Amino acid sequence: MAYIDKTLAHGERVLARGHFHWTYSLMSWMWLLIAGWALIGIYMFFARQIHKWTTELVVTNKRFVFKRGVLNIKTDEFTANRIQAITLSQPWLGRLLGYGQLNIRGEEIGQFGLPVIADPLAFRKALIASAEGTEGGPLPVAA
């Protein structure tokens, strides 16, 4: 059972889940194939995959959750309305293949970057919807 499923409050619904892009696993497999004969290739493969398997990025109608780790768990959880800025880093290949990295800055939460995820624009939209309380409905258009 996922961490978020254990911690959902009454009336809380998941709006979006962030997922690592398939290129992350491809790079892990490349480490194994190219340097698998050396211990570094095996180590890098499992280190990257365990990082992927134990990371959760979730936006609910009440909060944002960024959980990582399996033995030593670290979570960043806060209401989305505390976010002041979301920036997207998406290289040309990321735009073509549909991946990017979101950086979040907010009051009392500081600034941190999320891992590279698939469909970062949809995840960003869910963060904005949660902050505005629109829960995934149409976002207002600025005049």
Taking only the tens of pLDDT, the chain with its 143 residues reads: 688 888 898 989 999 999 999 999 999 999 988 887 788 889 999 999 999 999 999 999 989 999 998 889 999 888 888 888 999 999 999 999 999 999 998 888 888 889 999 999 999 999 988 888 766 544 443 33
Residue 27 maps to a domain: yes
Contact 46, 55 (CB under 8 A): no
pTM of the model: 0.81
Residue 116 maps to a domain: yes
Which residues have C-beta within 8 Å of that of residue 94, sequence separation ≥ 6? 100, 116
> For residue 37, what pLDDT is reported?
74
Residue 35 maps to a domain: yes
Residue 141 maps to a domain: no
For 138, which DSSP code? P
Question: What total of structural domains would you count in the chain?
Answer: 1
Give the domain extent around 63: 14-132
CATH number at 128 reads 2.30.29.30
Residue 7 maps to a domain: no
